[in-house]
Amino acid sequence: MCNIKDKVAIIGMGCTKFGELWDKSVDDLIIDATFEACEDAGVELKDIQAAWLGTVFSGHTALSLSSPLKLKYIPVTRVENMCATGTEALRGAVYAVASGACEIALAVGVEKLKDTGWTGVQPTNVLGRSTMGTSGIEVSLSPPAMFSTLALGYFKKYKIDLEEGKILLAKIAVKNHHNGSMNPKAHFQNEITVEQVLRSPIVAWPLSLLDCCGVSDGAAAAIVTRADLAKNFREDPIYIKSIAICVGPYLDLLTQGYDFAHVEENVRAAEIAYRESGIENPLKELSLAEVHDCFTIHEMVIYEDLGWSPRGMAKEDIEAGTFTLKGELPVNTDGGLKCFGHPLGASGLRMQYEIYKQLQGKAGIRQVKNPRLGLIHNLGGAVWGGIACICITGNERG
Amino acid sequence: MVGITSYGIYVPPYRLSRNEIARAWNIKSLGGERSVARYDEDSLTMAVDAAFDCINNCTEKVDGLFFASTTSPYREKQTAAIISSVLDLPRETRTADFTDSLRSATIALNSAVDAIKNGTAQNIVVVASDCRIGAVKSQSEQLFGDGSVALAIGKNNVIATIEGSYSTFSEILDSWRIEKNSFVQSWEERFVFTEGCVRTIELLISKIMERYKLNLTELTKIIFYGPDNKSHAQLSKRLGFELQSQIQETKFELFGNMGTAALPLMLVAFLEEAHPNNRILVANYGDGGDALILKTTEQINRFQKKRNINSFLMRKKYISYERYLTWRELVPLEEPRRPESKPPSVSCIWRDRKSIFALYGNRCKQCGTIHYPPQRICVTCQSKDKFEDYKLSDKKGKISNYAIDYLTSEREVPAIIGVVDFEEGGRIMCEITECEPSEIKVDMPVEMCFRKLGDKGGIYNYFWKARPLFL
């Protein structure tokens, strides 16, 4: 059976503090995240047999990884898949180990956005067309503007008036800041209130500044090995249950009818991931999740896309506190993109770092009770044609 | 007989009150208001609008396009060819630019008449368009206006025949602009007027009347150029026209002096209200002058247009002087803290010319799905290379979703980006122009318009945007 479930385990992870790291270079971030992962796994650089670097803007080739780490004559690959880049790097390492091509592989995700001097990140070249030549007619849309179309579509479809909708979104921001306030690695570690979110300036109507994630620098790394070898390295390895990357044909801007109230790639990625990991009732079976809360409206839509809230009912779950730290399915327990910012290449692995620590019972005051299975989710590209990825991990080998 | 077979006009919706300019500088206001091209418009894009309007009312196929302007976007490169691509005219269409002179429109018109008389063309659209910039704080800044007028010249279904012409040239530096200047320069007002405009118009009128043995009482209207309303009135008096009703008014107080399009606009204003068998004299000025005798036909009664001068008066929106300065790039602004976009690649534009200029998408012959931009594999049925061309430029649509983007490198913040669903199928995401953030609504009806996205690397980048449906 074609299935990655329980074939590979994560034996070590590292994650830098995220933030405006003026005194750190890309190389510093790579080195700091990798060494934390190596120490955690009890391996040395020379033990790594293959490596993957995930970065969107902060490096171009495998040399961006091999040179700072002084990796010696091993296969190294740089991958890029927009916001799914970090998980794409992990997928490369996991599949390599599962194939038997190597036993110990490294995945590193890094991004340094704060050296550009820009506000926000670069407008997305959504179709990922070559930047070497363009006819220059592509619509330039900032990420918040792109996700604001989801808010407009969702509120319209489910007849939520603007004021009520903005409060619901604000509650998501407040929840994630609450979690982030307990995390020393987060960029923002402050609690915020619904009123503060509502008062913050509009960035892309109806999204306000505090509906948006920050712009940060950061890196995270994972070391993986075959599941049957994992216990040689540590008592509590974390097993890969599924890695789904799901990319659409850009249907929704080519044809009429898209409701702008869901993301099809999210839905499909979840179906694939639940099938691969054997999950039937995600809300019950998952212990916690880290999802792509680049903008609060996306987290709201994810609750439904990933099958946790029935369609149009995310509102009820937000109000019931279903996704708070003490709720039925805690979401973004580390503070999410909202508090970590979104250094694109690093985010997927940063989310995995939180799940990894939670599943090992090492999340400190944010610790979720008796976790078994955790999920991470990213969406790259556009809401109308995206790259969705989901990775599910567990602390028991099935 | 050769004559005018159709006409079209375009005036941007934006108006700048002359009192607003006077307020900014504490100077005397000339009164009234002027039209202002948005920052995404220029003489080329306005010409596209007027030419579409003109062609929509043409009964004959167009086989020539002449562009007349003093403000062509490129110093070296033909504008008429770009306009013809946008209008999707056949490749064998005769194209020419008539530039640099304020009377370019009548020079082009005379050339069109000659070509049709010779039988080398059947129906030529002459489109005059200008977006001249007067020096900040100058009288020209108040006086000038932006806009475009198109006149189709042909043999069939003529609404006004062209019965005769007289042309002269003169050498005088009255108003001019050198390569490195963006502002129109002019010499001392009294000299310019009396030795330039007055002398030429007087000569034109007397010569053409003499040539065609006409007397004043045979003329329903006299349409002549004057740089501003005061001069125009003085000139009427000097010419001995006592009857105000015989003189076509300028429209300067409503739109401003639209350069090469100024006299054609007066002509259109006349044609909109003309009856059959009205004989008129037209006299244009600029480096000499052109006079024409026209006579309306029975056909004029059947010529009905939705977009007329009045409809352009109705859709006006006022802007502040500061906004005007920003649009014309007359004040240096802080660079946006956003990455700069790269200059377009010429080979990319060339490869996609059909979809960029004439807004062609394609339709799957297998399942009917309409795609923009054109695709090779159908997004619905995955069939390969089974497509037919499908033009979207003339299709009306509705906004199905939109974003108001404050994080944009556009000249004005916020930018509005919309998803447009065409009535007959197909979808495009593009900028919404001529629309304030408070005006955009889901389901708002829109139409497509050709606009300038910007210039990078010495290349003007043109493409389509949507705007609120106008008539």
- The series of mean pLDDT values per 10 residues for chain A, 398 residues long, is 91 98 97 98 98 95 97 97 96 98 98 86 62 77 93 97 97 98 98 98 95 96 98 98 94 93 97 98 98 98 98 98 98 98 97 98 97 97 92 96
Q: Give strand ranges (E) for B330-458.
A: 360-364, 370-371, 387-391, 397-405, 415-422, 427-431, 445-456
Any B CB within 8 A of A123 CB: yes
Any B CB within 8 A of A144 CB: yes
Report yes or no: B126 and B151 within 8 Å, Cβ to Cβ. Answer: yes
CA A254 – CA A56 distance, rounded (Å): 26
Q: What contacts B194, CB < 8 A, 6 or more positions away?
A: none
Residue of A nearest to B451 (CA): A137
β-bridge mates for residue B150, sequence order: B8, B127
CA B207 – CA B203 distance, rounded (Å): 6
Q: Which of A119, A135, A146 sits opposite B338 (nearest CB)?
A: A119
ipTM of this predicted complex?
Answer: 0.92
Torsion, CA A349, CA A351, CA A355, CA A358, rounded to 10: 120
Give B148-196 pLDDT, tens digit per residue: 999 999 999 999 999 999 999 999 999 999 999 999 999 998 898 999 9
Residue from A320, A301, A319 nearest A311 by CA: A301
Is B84 exposed, middle or buried, given 0-12, 13-18 or 19+ CB atoms closer than 10 A?
buried
Mutate to test the interface with A, among B407, B430, B441, B462 (most CBs of A within 10 A): B407
CB-CB neighbors (< 8 A) of A117 in chain B? 337
Q: Which of B372, B402, B453 sits opposite A152 (nearest CB)?
A: B402
CB-CB neighbors (< 8 A) of A202 in chain B? 404, 406
Q: How confident is the model at residue B216 (pLDDT cuts 50, 70, 90)?
A: confident
User: How high does pLDDT run on average in chain B?
Assistant: 95
Q: What is the pLDDT of residue A44?
A: 98
pLDDT exceeds cutoff 90 at B408: no
Q: How confident is the model at residue B112 (pLDDT cuts 50, 70, 90)?
A: very high
CB-CB neighbors (< 8 A) of B384 in chain A? none
CB-CB neighbors (< 8 A) of B346 in chain A? none
Q: Whats the size of chain B, residue-wise?
A: 471
Any B CB within 8 A of A159 CB: no
Q: Which of A139, A156, A203 sits opposite B407 (nearest CB)?
A: A203
Q: How many CB pairs under 8 A join A and B?
A: 124
Taking an 8 Å cut-off on Cβ atoms, the answer to whether B401 and A152 are in contact is yes
Residue of A nearest to B423 (CA): A256
CB-CB neighbors (< 8 A) of B451 in chain A? none
Q: Which of B337, B379, B404 sits opposite A255 (nearest CB)?
A: B379
Any B CB within 8 A of A149 CB: yes
Report yes or no: A260 and B429 within 8 Å, Cβ to Cβ. Answer: no
Any B CB within 8 A of A256 CB: yes
Gap from A212 CA to chain B (nearest CA, Å): 12
Q: What is the pLDDT of residue A121?
A: 75
CA B229 – CA B463 distance, rounded (Å): 37
Q: Give strand ranges (E) for A214-329.
A: 217-226, 238-247, 288-290
CB-CB neighbors (< 8 A) of A113 in chain B? none
CB-CB neighbors (< 8 A) of B369 in chain A? 254-255
Q: What is the pLDDT of residue A124?
A: 58
Max Cα distance, chain A (Å): 59
Taking an 8 Å cut-off on Cβ atoms, the answer to whether A142 and B407 are in contact is yes
How far, CA to CA in Å, does B393 sit from each of A121, B66, B434? 33, 21, 17
Report yes or no: B448 and B392 within 8 Å, Cβ to Cβ. Answer: yes
Q: What is the pLDDT of residue B25?
A: 97
The residues of A annotated as belonging to the active site are: 83, 342
What is the residue whose two structure tokens read 């690093």? A346
Mutate to test the interface with A, among B340, B369, B382, B401 (most CBs of A within 10 A): B401
Percent share of chain B, pLDDT over 70? 100
Cis bond leading into A206, ω under 30°? yes
Q: Which of B369, B379, B408 sits opposite A140 (nearest CB)?
A: B408
Q: Give the helix/strand (H/E) hosting B426.
A: none
Q: What is the pLDDT of residue A17?
A: 98
Taking an 8 Å cut-off on Cβ atoms, the answer to whether B371 and A249 are in contact is no
Report yes or no: A320 and A173 within 8 Å, Cβ to Cβ. Answer: no
Task: State the average pLDDT over residues B101-119.
Answer: 97
pLDDT exceeds cutoff 70 at B243: no
Give me Rg for the CA atoms of chain B.
Answer: 23
Q: What is the pLDDT of residue A132?
A: 65
**Helices (runs of H) and strands (runs of E) counted in chain B:** 13, 23
CA A317 – CA A300 distance, rounded (Å): 10
Report yes or no: A88 and A245 within 8 Å, Cβ to Cβ. Answer: yes
Is A230 exposed, middle or buried, given 0-12, 13-18 or 19+ CB atoms closer than 10 A?
buried
Taking an 8 Å cut-off on Cβ atoms, the answer to whether A202 and B406 are in contact is yes
Q: How confident is the model at residue B225 (pLDDT cuts 50, 70, 90)?
A: very high
CA A354 – CA A293 distance, rounded (Å): 15
Report yes or no: A178 and A325 within 8 Å, Cβ to Cβ. Answer: yes
CB-CB neighbors (< 8 A) of B414 in chain A? 204-205
CA A301 – CA A264 distance, rounded (Å): 11
Gap from B404 CA to chain A (nearest CA, Å): 5
Report yes or no: A150 and A297 within 8 Å, Cβ to Cβ. Answer: yes
Fold of A143-213+239-394: Peroxisomal Thiolase; Chain A, domain 1 (3.40.47)
Q: Which of A205, A249, A260 sits opposite B401 (nearest CB)?
A: A260
Task: State the average pLDDT over residues B272-290.
Answer: 97
Torsion, CA B191, CA B193, CA B195, CA B199, rounded to 10: -170
Is A77 exposed, middle or buried, given 0-12, 13-18 or 19+ CB atoms closer than 10 A?
middle
Q: How confident is the model at residue B59 (pLDDT cuts 50, 70, 90)?
A: confident
Q: What is the pLDDT of residue A118?
A: 81
Q: What is the pLDDT of residue B342?
A: 80
Taking an 8 Å cut-off on Cβ atoms, the answer to whether B348 and A254 are in contact is no
Residue from B56, B48, B67 nearest B6 by CA: B56
Q: What is the pLDDT of residue B26?
A: 97
Mutate to test the interface with B, among A140, A252, A260 (most CBs of B within 10 A): A140
CB-CB neighbors (< 8 A) of B356 in chain A? 135, 137
β-bridge mates for residue B294, sequence order: B162, B280
Structure tokens that stand for A5 in this block: 């479930």
Taking an 8 Å cut-off on Cβ atoms, the answer to whether B407 and A116 are in contact is no
B281/A398: higher pLDDT? B281
Structure tokens that stand for A331 in this block: 């979401």
CA B197 – CA B284 distance, rounded (Å): 9
Q: Which of B379, B425, B453 sits opposite A137 (nearest CB)?
A: B453
Q: What is the pLDDT of residue B245?
A: 82
Any B CB within 8 A of A312 CB: no
| CATH class as words, domain A8-115+217-237 | alpha beta
Taking an 8 Å cut-off on Cβ atoms, the answer to whether A122 and B339 are in contact is yes
Gap from B273 CA to chain A (nearest CA, Å): 41
Residue of B nearest to A202 (CA): B406
Comparing A12-21, A47-56, B83-92, B304-313, the range with the smallest average pLDDT is B304-313
Q: What is the pLDDT of residue B92?
A: 96
What is the residue whose two structure tokens read 């890309």? A26
Comma-separated ranges of CATH 3.40.47.10 domains in chain A: 8-115+217-237, 143-213+239-394
Q: What is the pLDDT of residue A140?
A: 79
